[in-house]
Every structure is written in structure tokens, then in C-alpha cells.
């Protein structure tokens, strides 16, 4: 990571941004955040009372990754997948940096909508260390009412091609709510360095496709399973699938109607879970079951299991009670098996950065 804040700081830009941001109000809009530890009052990892623990600061100025050197002072999400060659790609969402502020969105920060970091870490017990960055691979105009952000919600490697599912956010609403224009796939054929939106895969926020505005990917039995929710949190979850070779063919998907797979019409998809936000799903060999992480309507972080991708899914097991980490969201599962422990990334909005968590299974 070679980008540096030094030139900006020497020019006085950093001081100007900090003085303005210190007075910025907190809110549900991710543009209004304070990722500077000295100003947000958060230093070190949170101490949680239950078996789930925060074990490593992944992003931000307090992280050993020093993501501020890539002008990522604050960010969220952390969607992880193996690139097919044993390296992990992690896609983050809206990232706050120093530069020209996005005043149209009412922010003093310079914002990008997505950033990728790559890593060789397979054992997360000592943290996740990044060795490469792809800044802002899919730029967004960031104009309220048109497209305020283009955010990754899932990633997968199929046939040597990297795919991300992106949501085009038109505007932010109340806490945990936002409106989207569409969801789409983007593809990279060079290991995640350059990306192209696949406009023929766009799912407009109507006609059943509103159920798949935010996604999670799972590969099993020759299929790519694409889990979906409407935009925002506290929504029902749905599932579709296509053969791996047809991942980018929107007409090839089948939808689970509660009893069988139905081809071609997203309106037939029935909920498989309820009250979820930002799904992450993976097969877990220790349990011999599929594992799903999400938040629930009370903003607890919860885990469900199932013997098949479509379920039935178990009742949620609470991993983190909302009062102990009240601004947490987007629990994303680490893509490599880790025995009796499950590792996942989690965003803490009050510091607007991402933590690595560990919970016993």
C-alpha cells in the first residue's frame, strides 16, 4: 500500500477536515461519521461479556494494517472470499478519506464507495494482514437522489473470474433503511485489479427483484446460491440459484418458493428467514451444517444453521447482544475453515471501522 496522507497533511487539508468533522453530527447516514480514534473516543478492542470476542482491529488508524496509508480512515462491511488461487479478497463499502469533501452528501470527508484489500491470511488467530489494495475499483457519482453509493454486498470466484454483487443506493433513509436503484454483478478477470459492471445482470428494485437487492453467495453441488434481502436491515431473506457457469445469466436463476425451485420469476421466491440484515452464509465442516450470520431486528448479531442451502434454518442463536456493542452490523464469515471457532468481520459504526471477531461453535 503506497498511498500516503503525508502530502495532504502538509498542505493543511487533514487539519481542516478534522476540525470540521469534530463538529459533524452523528446519524444513520454513513457520510456522517468520525473514524479518528482521538476524536471518537474509541481506542482498542471492545470487551464483550459473552463467549464472542473481538480479537483484531482490521481497518483504521488503530489497525496494524494502517489502512489510512491507502486513504481509508474509516470503512465498513468486509465481504471476504477466496480468489480461486488461495488468496483472499476483502471488499469494503463506503470509505472515508482525506481530500475533496463530498458536500453534496453533507460530508466533510472524501468518500469512495468500495475498496478491495488482498491477503494471504488463512489462519486468522493472529489477525488478518493485508498486503495489497485496489482503491475505488467501481466509482460512483455519489449524488443524492441519483446514486449516493455503489456498495459490494457479496463476492465469489467462479471459473477463474471474480464476481461481486453490488447495490446502487439512491438515498439513505432512517437508521437501517435505504433505497436502491438496482443490484448488479461486477466482474474481474485479473484477480480483482480491474472491474466491469455487467449491466445485463441488473436487478431493478421492482417485480420481485426487490428481494435480491443485497446478497450473499454460496457455492455447493455445482450451483451458485444467491441469498437476497430487500434494501436495508430487518427484512425477510430469500434464496435463488444458478449453475456456476450461468452465474451472470439473470434468466438462468431458479427461486425457492418454500417447497421447490421455480425457474425464471423472482416473484415466486418465498422467505427462508425473517428479520435479517447483511447476510453471510458458508458451509461449516466442524458442524457439518451451513452457517448463516446476520443481525436481527433488535440489532443482535445472530447465527443460524441448516442442513441444506434453502433450509429450514434453525432459530437464531445470539452471538452478540445489541446493548454490549450497540452500533454493530454486517457480520461477514471468514472464508477458510477454522475448526471449532468461527471468525467473522463486524463493523462498529461508532468508530466506523471493521473488527475481527471469534466465537466458539
Which residues form the domain of 54?
A: 6-360
CATH number of domain containing 352: 2.115.10.20
Coil, strand or helix at 235: strand
- Give the per-residue pLDDT at 5: 41
Distance, in Å, from the CA atom of 271 to the CA atom of 174, rounded to the nearest integer, reads 24
Let me know if residue 32 belongs to a domain.
yes
pLDDT in tens, 249-262: 999 999 999 999 99
Question: Total domain count for the chain?
Answer: 1
CA distance 189 to 115: 17
pLDDT at residue number 29 = 67
| Residue 228 clears pLDDT 80, i.e. is over it | yes
Residue 230 within a domain: yes
pLDDT tier, 103 (very low <50, low <70, confident <90, very high otherwise): confident
Position 221 confidence tier, pLDDT thresholds 50, 70, 90: very high
Q: What is the mean pLDDT of residues 231-247?
A: 98
Angstrom CA distances, 294 to 111, 222, 225, 235, stand at: 26, 25, 17, 11
280 is a domain residue = yes
Is 129 a domain residue? yes
pLDDT at residue number 14 = 46
**1 in a structural domain:** no
pLDDT tens digits for range 332-348: 999 999 999 999 999 99
Q: Distance (Å, rounded) from C-alpha 299 to C-alpha 228?
A: 18
Helix (H, G, I), strand (E, B) or coil at 157: strand
9: confidence class by pLDDT, cuts 50, 70, 90: very low
What are the DSSP calls for 261-294, one per residue? EEES-GGG---SEEEEEEEEEEEETTTTEEEEEE
* Mean pLDDT of all residues in 306-320: 98
Give residue for cell 434453502: 310
Residue 173 has pLDDT above 80, yes or no: yes
CA 214 to chain centre: 9
pLDDT over 70 (residue 289) = yes
Question: Which residues, other chains included, contact 162 with Cβ-Cβ below 8 Å and sequence gap of 6+?
Answer: 81, 83, 84, 89, 155, 156, 187, 188, 189, 191, 192, 195
- Residue 193: pLDDT band (50, 70, 90) is very high
Tens of pLDDT, residues 144-155: 999 999 999 999
Integer CA distances (angstroms), 16 to 13, 42, 101, 337, 361, in order: 5, 21, 11, 45, 47
Query: Would you tell me how many other CB atoms lie within 10 Å of the CB of residue 104?
Result: 14
- Collect all residues with Cβ–Cβ distance below 8 Å to 284 and sequence separation of at least 6: 290, 291, 305, 337, 342, 361
- The answer to whether residue 289 is domain-embedded is yes
Nearest of 52, 140, 158 to residue 104 by alpha carbon: 140
Task: For residue range 20-50, list pLDDT tens digits in order.
Answer: 443 333 335 677 899 999 899 998 999 999 9
Q: Rounded mean pLDDT of 319-343?
A: 97
Nearby residues of 349 by Cβ (< 8 Å), 6 or more positions away: 30, 33, 76, 327, 328, 329
pLDDT, average across residues 49-77: 98
pLDDT of 17 > 70? The answer is no
Cα 81 to its chain centre, rounded Å, is 11
Question: Under DSSP, is residue 294 helix (H, G, I), strand (E, B) or coil?
Answer: strand
Indicate whether 131 belongs to any domain: yes
pLDDT band at 6 (very low <50, low <70, confident <90, very high): very low
Beta bridge partners of 274: none
- Computed on alpha carbons and rounded to an integer, the radius of gyration of the chain in Å comes to 19
In sequence order, which residues have a C-beta less than 8 Å from that of residue 300 and are 6 or more positions away? Answer: 316, 318, 319, 320, 321, 322
Q: Residue 118's pLDDT band (boundaries 50, 70, 90)?
A: very high
User: Once rounded to an integer, what is the mean pLDDT over residues 275-296?
Assistant: 98
| Best CA proximity match to 54, nearest among 294, 331, 306 | 331
pTM of the model: 0.93
Rounded Cα–Cα distance for residues 169 and 149 (Å): 5
Q: Would residue 62 count as lying in a domain?
A: yes
pLDDT at 32: 80
At residue 174 the predicted structure's pLDDT band, cuts being 50, 70 and 90, is confident
Amino acid at each position: 500500500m503506497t498511498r500516503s496522507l503525508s502530502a495532504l497533511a502538509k498542505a493543511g487539508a487533514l487539519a481542516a477536515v478534522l476540525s470540521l468533522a469534530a463538529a459533524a453530527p452523528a446519524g444513520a447516514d454513513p457520510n456522517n461519521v468520525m473514524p479518528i480514534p482521538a476524536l471518537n473516543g474509541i481506542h482498542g478492542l471492545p470487551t464483550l461479556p459473552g463467549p464472542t470476542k473481538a480479537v483484531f482491529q482490521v481497518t483504521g488508524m488503530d489497525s496494524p494494517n494502517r489502512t489510512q496509508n491507502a486513504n481509508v480512515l474509516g470503512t465498513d462491511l468486509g465481504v471476504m472470499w477466496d480468489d480461486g488461487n488461495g488468496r483472499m479478497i476483502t471488499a469494503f463499502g463506503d470509505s472515508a478519506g482525506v481530500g475533496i469533501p463530498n458536500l453534496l452528501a453533507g460530508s466533510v470527508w472524501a468518500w469512495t464507495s468500495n475498496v478491495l484489500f488482498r491477503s494471504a491470511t488463512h489462519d486468522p488467530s493472529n489477525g488478518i494482514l493485508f498486503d495489497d489494495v485496489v482503491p475505488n475499483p467501481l466509482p460512483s457519482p455519489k449524488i443524492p437522489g441519483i446514486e449516493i453509493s455503489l456498495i459490494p454486498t457479496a463476492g465469489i470466484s467462479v471459473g477463474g473470474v471474480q464476481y461481486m454483487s453490488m447495490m446502487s443506493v439512491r438515498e439513505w433513509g432512517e437508521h437501517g433503511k435505504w433505497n436502491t436503484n438496482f443490484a448488479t454483478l461486477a466482474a474481474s478477470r485479473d484477480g480483482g485489479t480491474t472491474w466491469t459492471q455487467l449491466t445485463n445482470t441488473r436487478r431493478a428494485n421492482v417485480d420481485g427483484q426487490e428481494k435480491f437487492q443485497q446478497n450473499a453467495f454460496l457455492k455447493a453441488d455445482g450451483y451458485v446460491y444467491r441469498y437476497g434481502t430487500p434494501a436495508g436491515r430487518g427484512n425477510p431473506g430469500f434464496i435463488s440459484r444458478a449453475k456456476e457457469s450461468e452465474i451472470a445469466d439473470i434468466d438462468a436463476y431458479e427461486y425457492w418458493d418454500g417447497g421447490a425451485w421455480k425457474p425464471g420469476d423472482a416473484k415466486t421466491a418465498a422467505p427462508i428467514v425473517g428479520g435479517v440484515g447483511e447476510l453471510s452464509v458458508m458451509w461449516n465442516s466442524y458442524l457439518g451444517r451451513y452457517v448463516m450470520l446476520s443481525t436481527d431486528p433488535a440489532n443482535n448479531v445472530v447465527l443460524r444453521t441448516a442442513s441444506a442451502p434453502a433450509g429450514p434454518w434453525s432459530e437464531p442463536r445470539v452471538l452478540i447482544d445489541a446493548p454490549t456493542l450497540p452500533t454493530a452490523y454486517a457480520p461477514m464469515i471468514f472464508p477458510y475453515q477454522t475448526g471449532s471457532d468461527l471468525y467473522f468481520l463486524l463493523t462498529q459504526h461508532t468508530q466506523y471501522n471493521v473488527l475481527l471477531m471469534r466465537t466458539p461453535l
